[in-house]
Structure formats: structure tokens, C-alpha cells
């Protein structure tokens, strides 16, 4: 049994997507970019958990929670909330600032190879996050998708208002 409000909103979005083929292509591009984003985020988590298993790191609950949040973050972008991609750029820039302390570790032979590998993965993750979010913000077809979803949601809100009157 489905909620009639959700069904109507979904129907409006589906109709708008059928009318705009560029939006369908934009949604596909967004999906591919988000898959790359999630794969690299989980690669970073895997590297950290491997470090914990090998005894190099203490377990970081914060990074595990952030990886789970990344899934919800990616889903909200995929359903058309462009603002989340903008927040992803800010988060990625904060990660890049954190990487400045990792460059000496990355290029120093006195650290264990796994520690240097983890540093490289974290640096790669931070830059890929910023690049992928910027692609989501500035891609023409992705923006057509965001605009299409926004217009469908606005239409739904207008219908709701007119029904209440």
C-alpha cells in the first residue's frame, strides 16, 4: 500500500523525465559519478579497517559513520537535491586541508608501506570527492535533471496548495 502523496509526486517527476530526454541522460551521469564517489569512499574505509586489523590504527567510529552517511548523501543527490553536492564540495575541501599533514608521511621512507598506502588512498579520496561534486554541480545534463525534478516538485506543491483551498 503506497502513500497517495508520494505516488503523485513520483508520477509528476516521472512525467517530467519522459518529457525531457536530457534529464534522463543527466540522471544517468549523476549515477555514474556517484558510483565512483561511493567506491572510492568505501575503498578509503576498507584501507582504514585493514589498518585496524593489522594493528596500525585504532578503530575510528567516526569514519565508519561517515561512510554510512555517504550513502544517504549520495542518494539525496541522486533524487535531485543539488544543494547536497555543494555541501560535498565543502566537505571535500575540509578533507583536502586534512591531507596537508599526510604529504610528509606519503613521501617519507621511514613510515611503513601500509601507512603510506593509507595516506595515498585518503588523499585520493579527498580530491575525487571534490572533483566528483564539482562535476555534479557544473554538468549541463545533470543541471537539466535537477531543474526538471525541481519543477515537478514545485508543481506538486502547487497542486497540494490548490487542493487545500
> Please, what is the average pLDDT of the chain?
92
43 domain-assigned: yes
The tally of domains found in the chain comes to 1
Mean pLDDT over 45-50 rounds to: 93
Domain of residue 95 covers 23-155
Q: Output the pLDDT for position 65.
A: 87
In the predicted structure, residue 57 carries a pLDDT above the cut 80: yes
From the list 36, 48, 50, the residue with the least C-alpha distance to 129 is: 36
Do you know the residue count of the chain?
165
User: Does residue 13 sit within a domain?
Assistant: no
For residue 18, being part of any structural domain is answered with no
Question: Is the residue at 7 inside a domain?
Answer: no
Amino acid at each position: 500500500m503506497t502513500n497517495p502523496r508520494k505516488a503523485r509526486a513520483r508520477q509528476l517527476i516521472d512525467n517530467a523525465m519522459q518529457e525531457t530526454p536530457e534529464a534522463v541522460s543527466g540522471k544517468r551521469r549523476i549515477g555514474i559519478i556517484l558510483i565512483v564517489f561511493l567506491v572510492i569512499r568505501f575503498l578509503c574505509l576498507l584501507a582504514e579497517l585493514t589498518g585496524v586489523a593489522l594493528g596500525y590504527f585504532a578503530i575510528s567510529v567516526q569514519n565508519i559513520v561517515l561512510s554510512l552517511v555517504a550513502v544517504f548523501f549520495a542518494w539525496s543527490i541522486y533524487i535531485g537535491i543539488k544543494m547536497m553536492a555543494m555541501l560535498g564540495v565543502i566537505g571535500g575541501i575540509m578533507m583536502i586541508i586534512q591531507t596537508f599533514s599526510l604529504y610528509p608521511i606519503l613521501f617519507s621512507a621511514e613510515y611503513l608501506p601500509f601507512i603510506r598506502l593509507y595516506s595515498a588512498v585518503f588523499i585520493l579520496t579527498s580530491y575525487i570527492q571534490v572533483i566528483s561534486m564539482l562535476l555534479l554541480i557544473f554538468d549541463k545534463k545533470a543541471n537539466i535533471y535537477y531543474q526538471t525534478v525541481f519543477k515537478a516538485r514545485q508543481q506538486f506543491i502547487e497542486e497540494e496548495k490548490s487542493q487545500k483551498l
